[in-house]
Amino acid sequence: MTAKKIGAIAGVAALLGVGGLLGGVLSGGSSSSPVSAGRAEPAVVAADHALSGFSLGDTESLVAQLQSAVRENPGDVQSLTLLGLAYQQRARETGDPAYYVKSEGVLDEALALEPDDLLATSGLGSLALARHDFAGALRLGEKARDLSPDTARNYGVIGDALTELGRYEDAFAAFDRMVALKPGIASYARVSYARELRGDTRGAIQAMELAVDAARGSQEPAAWAMAQLGKLHFAVGERDAAARWYDRALAALPGYVYALEALAHVEGARENYPAAIELARKAVDTIPLPQFVTLLGDLYQVSGQDGLAGEQYDLMDAIHRLLQANGVRSDLEIAAFYADHGIRLPEALELARAGWEERPSITGDDALAWALERNSRCEEALPLSKRALRLGTQDASLFFHRGMIERCLGNRQAAERWLRRALELNPGFSLIWAPVAEALLEEGKA
């Protein structure tokens, strides 16, 4: 998958976006949040909302309130746990992973006081997902499940972790258990993702439509679900349908940053570069997440503004170092970025290998295969590319990478077939590489 695709896990996760499968990000408050400034609902309600990755309201004010409560009563496990979750939300809202270190500290304090506290355990599981520590997330998710077998969110953490560890049947079983326990936006979204991975795009769209219905009446969750539904349409080349859902997300929550970024992809695919750049710049200015920075750089590059593109690309090294310093494992993401952009290709391969060891998933298989191809080691790349397609996933980037690997090996007919499949599925799958695929097919050089 490209860096863009890895940045969010095949349509549901924001896999470079530092969150779990429901890493909703909001700059500002949500009118329907369960916690707002000056008022706190019961901890379980607030925790459910936060653990889904949605805003707790005025999170900055909430953090200050909870910090004060903890100073007054250091043994208040509930306040410590909510503070840990609020720190994770601040990380999502600001893009600053230093909040993850703070979250870990207070959640560890909570568990030191109450070793079997369910919400603190779930909070650490969510944190492990955010940091791409999927083995740790699985351990914590299973501990939370053992503490409360009928709590649906535990199966979300378990399924998310199993997905990135390549244990798909176990992951899908966890998602099935989650939706049986609590049908809703979080469980429907995971069912949608499971169907997408299996190549059932229409089924994935239907499940995400249920998520949209379940989020009706709530601001940020509705915007998130609409944006995800748009991404599913975009992935199969339905740009107009995608744009309509992004517009609906922005109507539900004006300025919603993920909808802005997604709409920039549509405008970029339409070659309406000025509009795409304006949208991407707004997203970057709001939260400088890696996938936003990469998109803006790519838009500058394809519109002939190489200097501005280089400035964005240079930011990626700083972002990678910042993530690493705060415990976020981003080897696969930076490897895919380097491979896509022809930067430090030997290092890209080294990073991809390291990331693949920790995440032997479709994402890891494809990232390593692509890094190998870019380093002209295509015989090694082919088995990994085949593994990346083992579930029947309909992903144009996967098809493109397979085509380029076949081309590298001199398998011309196979290369042409895979490149054509990529473009037929989604002609705008990549600002950089879709034109390359088109040119190779037109020139008969596939």
pLDDT of 43: 45
Q: What's the CA gap between 43 and 46, in Å, rounded?
A: 5
Give yes or no for residue 44 having a pLDDT over 90: no
Q: What is the CA radius of gyration of the chain?
A: 21
Give yes or no for residue 29 having a pLDDT over 90: no
Q: Give pTM, 2 decimals.
A: 0.87
Q: What's the CA gap between 199 and 205, in Å, rounded?
A: 11
In which residue are the tokens 């700083």 written? Answer: 318
Average pLDDT of 67-90?
Answer: 94
Name all domains of the chain by residue range, CATH numbers in brackets.
3-329 (1.25.40.10), 354-442 (1.25.40.10)
- Name the pLDDT band for 157 (thresholds 50, 70, 90): very high
Give yes or no for residue 56 having a pLDDT over 60: no
pLDDT of 52: 57
39 strand-pairing partners? 36
- Name the pLDDT band for 390 (thresholds 50, 70, 90): very high
Average pLDDT of 388-399?
Answer: 98
Average pLDDT of 179-193?
Answer: 96
- Name the pLDDT band for 150 (thresholds 50, 70, 90): very high
Average pLDDT, the chain: 89
pLDDT of 443: 85
Q: How far is CA 81 from CA 14, 20, 63, 88, 376, in A?
A: 24, 18, 11, 11, 49
pLDDT of 405: 98
Q: What's the CA gap between 67 and 321, in Å, rounded?
A: 28
pLDDT of 47: 52
**More confident position, 219 or 404:** 404
DSSP 333-377: HHHHHHHHHT-SHHHHHHHHHHHHHH--SHHHHHHHHHHHHHTT-
Q: What's the CA gap between 308 and 295, in Å, rounded?
A: 12
Q: Which of 91-100, 192-201, 426-435 is least confident?
A: 91-100
Give yes or no for residue 351 having a pLDDT over 90: yes
pLDDT of 114: 97
- Name the pLDDT band for 59 (thresholds 50, 70, 90): confident
User: Would you say 228 and 199 are in contact if contact means Cβ atoms under 8 Å apart?
Assistant: no
* 241 CB-contact burial (10 Å; exposed 0-12 / middle 13-18 / buried 19+): middle
Q: Which of 5-9, 99-103, 231-235, 318-322 is least confident?
A: 5-9
Q: Which of 34-43, 100-109, 342-351 is least confident?
A: 34-43
Tell me which residue of 232, 233, 343, 253 sits closest to 298, measured CA to CA: 343
Average pLDDT of 324-333?
Answer: 93
Give yes or no for residue 38 having a pLDDT over 50: no
